[in-house]
Structure 1
């Protein structure tokens, strides 16, 4: 099995903090999610995450006017310049201070950054695709530093000609600056607000400036005569100044302005408030167009796309991201992540959806291809601890601390069955019989295993035997046995469908945390609290292998730890373990920043994945910085909230001892991996982490992995072989080169009538790759029948060989099954949508039987429709024609 999985996407989190950006064409939205950047394609309904990661949470984003260069800056002022189309990080740079505002000039040659009280203007690095730039990459060159503000700069806006820019600061003023010295121009201060200025903008003609302050005041500034100008004086620059021409107030009771955006072309001003309300006003008349409540908390940022039609809002406290089309009053995008940390995840059997469940009681269904959440279930009233699919994939079961097990229909998206115990229990583990008839659950309050019938919802039995809480349950894939793990240091194997329900205990050295069955039902993997990973044979109840994983899982030191990461191995363990689709590897994750991939047979660590390098999380660094250790303890744990300048920031709403909810203590989140899951195809796996749902895939980057190569096999000789119509030889040469575009070209050039012959003589060494390639093509290309003919040919000619080598082709066969099921579902949906239209057309009476000629001059063919000689005469007196002779 291949182990070179690469990070491909981040789901489960759509917005953390910072500013939102629309691309220049207005079709994509860039959102900071922790220390990464996600891009949401609003037209094609897809999302993807850029591969780079900052060392801390991202604070500011800026995109150049062409949309190809992205500058992202984290909380420490470290910046990464990225080529967005190629998804490549070009340059790393440090501003040596916290950046609170960032904006590219409309010309694209400069960008301005607000670093504390200063504003730094830098030259944009030149790239080869800039027509008039140098044909080499140059690092950042600073143009100028502007000083004058007495508090942090909160926003920077450029004029349309890139000669001037406006800055708004918390020192109650806005200032006008020129990029280069201008004759007769001095930097101008616009003062008059009573609270910090949130934003300042030029009008389209640059004759008016609008400023909005935190207390909800909008000032309109115009260039007019001074108060002290002499009467009858000329309109020269000495007698003119920027003055307040008008004042408007938003009047939102006790709420204050948290963000604002202005679109000069349409003259729309959008403001967001701390009570979750946003308003749209048209300037300069200040006429209100819309007023809408979209959140229960602060709206952190608002952005307007180029045409002024779409408004993007981000609310960090609840992780909400909204795109609103104000003219039609409809949502273009409405996404929200989990409020609390994820507990459990599950892949659907066809691999198209991922289920996430969290402590907030919500269950979310994520589409793997689009990256969007398609439905959220909120019926559980407490944290959801386990979820599992029935084998057919349309029914999901979840267990919760609220004392219920619920069954969900994922076709109609509803809860159709609820299972409860006679006494109130908090369920922590779950297992579903492969036939979907029986569901079992274990609790932390009771030592018994409860079994219900899915059909009737009745409690069938309670299995007794454990002497501690049941932490994990798993049914064998063949449905014969149930395995349970408990804190009493035992794993029990139950035959619940036998006449006598006997259990055989397997003794371990510590509390059992997780159990996973191998796909062939012959082996189980068990993780325990002492950091051990052991493999047991189910049939003879004997240990086959074991791994001391304490050193592998240990890593990362929390801020309050008294021990170093190297000596803290005894506190780490795996809390989740899963087998791969072919059963050769196991994936394990726990309370650390690492995910480990082991070979199941030898117990060798095949690969180690680092979940996060984000220093904003606890437990990501190996060594603590001694500079951050003070006499009062670690600097990060000292509460600086009481020193905030604003009263609402100083106010303490926390409850003593509360760990969760609005009244909880504000502590640094800790990096951990509560659950992992392999995709059914084996080409990807996902992991629930503190930052969201991470997806690692084998298909993200091009891997040049040739085999059986010799000097005569080149792309040119492959194409010449294809031109000579030697299709089998050409496709074998393409597979030897392993170049995907070349394989696709040979594959699509093969005539339909020759598919069976090519497949028949295909060497078995290439069958696995061909099967995987055809499955990917069936998912991506529009040639449905062509791909199905290849699949049919492979199964007809080599079905026996595939059955004999099923263990090595498990992932490929699942990929084919997934592709065929998707095609079947799409065709069924298409037929259902069109069947009534077809019936309607067939039911229409034929008004006239006059002869109609349709001429096709291109081929010299004349087709006659409606000729009496061509129609069956038996039903000539009937309405409508029966058929052609």
Structure 2
């Protein structure tokens, strides 16, 4: 079993707080998510999250115009400089106080940041000949504001900086000290915080926007009128208000504003979720829309001015809007509350999450985007399960229902309820999709429903306490259940007798998992152990003590060390790998443990988060922050804020759940609520406080020196191709592991040689060959050629693949995706050409085909031909009957008589089969 899993992506959340930015070409959007940074490729429909972590949540980010350096700063002012293209961390730096805004200059030579009421200008690290020793060199510091600075903006020529502050003013600063005295100006006159100030494209105008909805236009003018031919007196020139405009947004306040100088477009976001587009200086309202009822915390415009990005931290919403076509490029929203359950689809391409907010979301693993959200549940969703084909999803909820979802039409087609109104807290589905089971803490019985009929077919009685966990075997109809009575019961759902012997456990069972082959069951208990029982023998065969492997961090209010903490020394979620040789476990702590089951050893331990904003991530508390009364971080300072909306707290004191989760007084605690291996065992997902963490094995090795000698070179591969030694060339290309070489050899093999090459391919390269074909075929247009390769390999090595399923899981999934794409294309093409086919097949063209005209042209084929009317002055094309004397319009009478009954039959069959559609899904 491989243990080299690494963090690969973060799902379930798209925006938390801070600013969002576009890349220079405007196709990539960067968004801070907790203490990480996520990147969304809006053109290729992909996303990824950087692996590095900040010590606290990210407050602002900036990308240089060249798109090479990313600078992100957390709430404490600690910055990380990252090579954006290589995704590697270059330098850590501490600005020693919170940073409210950060901007690179348009030429990329410097960057400015606002720390409190000061502006710091730093030189951007470069690779010039005079390389400096320190990566960051401070150019100068500007001071002049009397309150905290809110925003910064650069002039297009990178010479001046505009700053806005809570002291109701905006100021202009020069990068060159010689121009500072001439340029220093204070823009006063607003009656509320100035939230944004911007230069026009020609730098002749300055626009300032205040929180109360006032837009001032400033011009560099003189009090004295200058006559023609007279030289102007520069001493009389200064910045003056030229025009005043107001948004008139009733009670709404301006939250964020940005300006696109090239198109003179001003984008304003309000605290009621409304955003507007204005064209200045005419102050023309272009559009007015709303993205909800929560405040807009981030606004950004791409370089061309076509796409607008908005972020709302209250619900974690991220929106990219194309204002010209009035369409959405991206609409994503994470879960509002804690994630309770995670499930992989059988093909591993989808990831489903359930949350306390009552929503079920389906995420695409490859792209990282949410595909669909189900909102029919009215309470927290507690369990998820897939049917074997992956077309049906089951979910259990505290609202007393178990629902079945059709993942083809994306609808709820079955709702299962018990005789009494009880809350379901666990769920398991038979892999065949025939039955679904659910347990509840309100009842001691396990409820079993038939998916086909939707009826409650059985209740499994035997437990003496509430049922806590359920798990089905993937190979047979074995159901394992656990209860508060400290027993495990194994049920044969499809057997005649339901008499089962309980397996005694000496602690409360927190999670249960059945090995895929159905011969073993694993349980995690409250005392920190993982116990393994043989189902056939009914006895314990193995155990793992997990207490020593768990990282249990301290909480701020703890009076004891993490070593002596027994709060979370146990696992609340476990899952088997596909081959049954490994187990992944996690709980209400900061660690995910990967175990080797036969040897009972810890293979690897993953740290969930290093975010110090969460409880349980630190082993030692900062003694500098400790007093006799406790930690200084426990003091609620919201009442000291200058803004009314920051002082208001609508949450219940001490509440862990419910209410406004973004401003609750209790610090969130790091925990893992659910763990699932992917069907191919090359990845696993963990539902945590930070979102859905996906860890995967990197299979894209650049170079594999195994079985390599000095004679194997790219030139040798080309020579083998010239000599038509296709198998030898293919094996050498795989040993070099160069994709371009493999692709060249693959496409050079003649069709008649494919079967021979496939049968002689060494078994060690079969999985890699199938994986290559699956990935290559998604972009290739040679459908038949690729299908011939797949058929030849499966025919030659099918028996070995069947007996070693776990080795070929990832490869077969790739081929399955390719076949699924072909199937969709064929079905859509047949539907689009259905009536054309019926018309052509119903016309009798045997006589017409033999009667070619003198030019050898048969006209339009079976029924008519097109001739040029020489008598017409417009040279119109006239359709004439090709065989008027014999049959008139050949084929139309037949086509009519043939197609109408077919259509009628299809409609009637569609109506009759509507009730059976759901049965065919299972």
Match of 1:751 in 2: 750
Match of 2:92 in 1: 92
Give the Å deviation of 1:842. 7.5
Structure 1 residue corresponding to 2:598, chosen from 593, 596, 601: 601
Match of 1:498 in 2: 495
Deviations 1:419-444, CA, capped at 9 Å, x for gaps:
11122211110111122121110011
**8 Å contact 2:162–2:197 — kept in the other structure?**
yes
Match of 1:109 in 2: 109
Structure 2 residue corresponding to 1:298, chosen from 295, 305, 315: 295
Give the Å deviation of 1:652. 2.7
Which ranges of structure 1 fall in alignment gaps of 5 or more residues? Answer: 854-863
Moved more, 59-68 or 158-167: 59-68
Deviations 1:777-822, CA, capped at 9 Å, x for gaps:
3445454333322221121112223333345444444444444334
**8 Å contact 1:852–1:866 — kept in the other structure?**
no
Distance across 1 between alignment mates of 2:532 and 2:451: 31
Match of 2:919 in 1: none
Distance across 2 between alignment mates of 1:663 and 1:447: 35
Which ranges of structure 2 fall in alignment gaps of 5 or more residues? Answer: 865-881, 893-922
Structure 2 residue corresponding to 1:172, chosen from 168, 181, 192: 168
Q: Does 1:159 align with 2:142?
A: no
Give the Å deviation of 1:507. 1.0
Deviations 1:391-437, CA, capped at 9 Å, x for gaps:
11111110001111111111111111111112221111011112212
Give the Å deviation of 1:836. 5.0
Over 3 Å counting, the alpha-carbon distance change for 1:751 and 1:608 in structure 2 is farther
Q: Does 1:431 align with 2:423?
A: no
Distance across 2 between alignment mates of 1:345 and 1:101: 37
Give the Å deviation of 1:66. 2.3
Structure 1 stretches of 4+ moved >6 Å: 132-138, 227-230, 840-850, 867-872
Match of 1:857 in 2: none
**8 Å contact 2:680–2:806 — kept in the other structure?**
no
Over 3 Å counting, the alpha-carbon distance change for 1:832 and 1:95 in structure 2 is farther
Match of 1:579 in 2: 576
Is the partner of 1:322 in helix, strand or coil?
Answer: strand
Is the partner of 2:201 in helix, strand or coil?
Answer: coil
Give the Å deviation of 1:380. 0.6
Distance across 1 between alignment mates of 2:225 and 2:549: 76
Match of 1:858 in 2: none
**8 Å contact 1:550–1:569 — kept in the other structure?**
no
Q: Map of 1:410-489 to 2, 5 A cutoff?
A: 410-489=407-486
Distance across 2 between alignment mates of 1:166 and 1:570: 51
Structure 1 residue corresponding to 2:560, chosen from 542, 563, 571: 563
Over 3 Å counting, the alpha-carbon distance change for 1:869 and 1:672 in structure 2 is closer
Q: Map of 1:837-876 to 2, 5 A cutoff?
A: 866=858
Give the Å deviation of 1:687. 1.4
Alpha-carbon RMSD: 3.0
Is the partner of 1:502 in helix, strand or coil?
Answer: coil
Q: Map of 1:560-709 to 2, 5 A cutoff?
A: 560-568=557-565, 571-656=568-653, 658-662=655-659, 665-699=664-698, 702=701, 704-709=703-708
Is the partner of 1:774 in helix, strand or coil?
Answer: helix
Over 3 Å counting, the alpha-carbon distance change for 1:249 and 1:195 in structure 2 is same
Is the partner of 2:324 in helix, strand or coil?
Answer: coil
Is the partner of 2:329 in helix, strand or coil?
Answer: strand
Over 3 Å counting, the alpha-carbon distance change for 1:669 and 1:658 in structure 2 is closer
Distance across 2 between alignment mates of 1:840 and 1:194: 75
Match of 1:790 in 2: 789
Q: Map of 1:223-302 to 2, 5 A cutoff?
A: 223-226=220-223, 235-302=232-299
Give the Å deviation of 1:87. 2.3
Match of 1:79 in 2: 79
Deviations 1:266-297, CA, capped at 9 Å, x for gaps:
21111111111112222112222222221211
Deviations 1:617-651, CA, capped at 9 Å, x for gaps:
22122221111223332222211111111122112
Match of 2:904 in 1: none
Match of 2:867 in 1: none
Distance across 1 between alignment mates of 2:826 and 2:579: 30
Over 3 Å counting, the alpha-carbon distance change for 1:271 and 1:133 in structure 2 is farther
Deviations 1:454-508, CA, capped at 9 Å, x for gaps:
1222212221111222111112223332110112211101123222211221111
Is the partner of 2:827 in helix, strand or coil?
Answer: helix
Give the Å deviation of 1:869. 13
Distance across 2 between alignment mates of 1:787 and 1:841: 30
Is the partner of 2:572 in helix, strand or coil?
Answer: strand
**8 Å contact 1:557–1:620 — kept in the other structure?**
yes
Distance across 2 between alignment mates of 1:869 and 1:360: 63
Is the partner of 1:503 in helix, strand or coil?
Answer: coil
Distance across 2 between alignment mates of 1:634 and 1:837: 77
Q: How many residues align?
A: 865
Moved more, 497-506 or 728-737: 728-737
Q: Does 1:4 align with 2:1?
A: no
Over 3 Å counting, the alpha-carbon distance change for 1:557 and 1:822 in structure 2 is farther
Match of 1:856 in 2: none
Distance across 2 between alignment mates of 1:23 and 1:614: 26
Is the partner of 2:672 in helix, strand or coil?
Answer: coil
Moved more, 378-387 or 30-39: 30-39
Q: Does 1:517 align with 2:514?
A: yes
**8 Å contact 2:568–2:589 — kept in the other structure?**
no
Is the partner of 2:522 in helix, strand or coil?
Answer: strand
Over 3 Å counting, the alpha-carbon distance change for 1:60 and 1:801 in structure 2 is same
**8 Å contact 1:403–1:427 — kept in the other structure?**
yes
**8 Å contact 1:229–1:239 — kept in the other structure?**
no
Moved more, 580-589 or 390-399: 580-589
Deviations 1:700-741, CA, capped at 9 Å, x for gaps:
753644322333334443443334332212222233334444
**8 Å contact 1:586–1:597 — kept in the other structure?**
yes
Q: TM-score, normalised by structure 2?
A: 0.88
Structure 2 residue corresponding to 1:402, chosen from 389, 399, 403: 399
Distance across 2 between alignment mates of 1:781 and 1:381: 45
**8 Å contact 1:100–1:153 — kept in the other structure?**
yes
Give the Å deviation of 1:557. 2.2
Deviations 1:588-622, CA, capped at 9 Å, x for gaps:
22112222211122222122222222222221222
Over 3 Å counting, the alpha-carbon distance change for 1:835 and 1:165 in structure 2 is farther
Distance across 1 between alignment mates of 2:818 and 2:604: 29
Distance across 1 between alignment mates of 2:844 and 2:141: 80
Deviations 1:806-864, CA, capped at 9 Å, x for gaps:
454444444444443344344434443454566678889999987597xxxxxxxxxx6
Q: Does 1:325 align with 2:303?
A: no
Give the Å deviation of 1:329. 2.0
Distance across 1 between alignment mates of 2:644 and 2:24: 38
Over 3 Å counting, the alpha-carbon distance change for 1:651 and 1:870 in structure 2 is closer
Q: Map of 1:32-47 to 2, 5 A cutoff?
A: 32-47=32-47
Distance across 1 between alignment mates of 2:591 and 2:717: 43
**8 Å contact 1:581–1:811 — kept in the other structure?**
no
